[in-house]
Amino acid sequence: MANEEIIELLANQHSRAIISLTSLKECSAVQLSQELSIPLATVYRNLKLLETAGLIQHVKTIINLQGNGERFFRCAISEATIRINNGGLSVDVKKEERDYKIIRLWTRLAHPKIKDVSDRSL
C-alpha cells in the first residue's frame, strides 16, 4: 500500500480510534461501533480499508447459535513513524509479532466450551 494511503488512514479519526481500541483487545465490528460510538457502516468501511492496508488483521470468527459468524480484529502494527524528508512524507510501519494460531489453540484448550472457528486453519 502506498505511503499516501496509509497516512490518510492514520489521519482519519475513525480509523485511529479503531486502531487504538484493537491495539488493546480483539474486537468485532459491533463492539467497535458500540464502544466508539461510530455508525456500524462506517466501522465496516474502515475495517476493510485498515485490513487491506495491513494495519489490522482478522484474528478469529466466532459462530453464534444462529450460525452467524462474528469476525474479530486486532491491531497488526506496533509502531508507525511518519517522516518528512526533502519535501516528501514517508511512513514506516512495524508489524506486531503475534502468533494468533498459538493464542487461539491455548484459548481452546483452556476453555473447551467456547466455539471459535477461524478462517485460517490450525
Residue 7 · residue 77 · CB < 8 Å: no
Could you tell me if residue 51 is inside a domain? yes
Could you tell me if residue 119 is inside a domain? no
Could you tell me if residue 41 is inside a domain? yes
pTM higher than 0.95 for the full model? no
Could you tell me if residue 84 is inside a domain? yes
Could you tell me if residue 116 is inside a domain? no
Could you tell me if residue 22 is inside a domain? yes
Query: CA distances (Å), 61 to each of 33, 64, 86, 100, in order?
Result: 17, 10, 44, 12
pLDDT tens, the chain, 122 aa long: 677 888 899 899 999 999 999 999 999 999 999 999 999 999 999 999 999 999 999 999 998 888 889 999 999 998 888 888 888 888 888 887 665 555 556 666 666 665 544 444 44
Overall domain count for the chain: 1
What CATH number is given to the structural domain containing 62?
Answer: 1.10.10.10
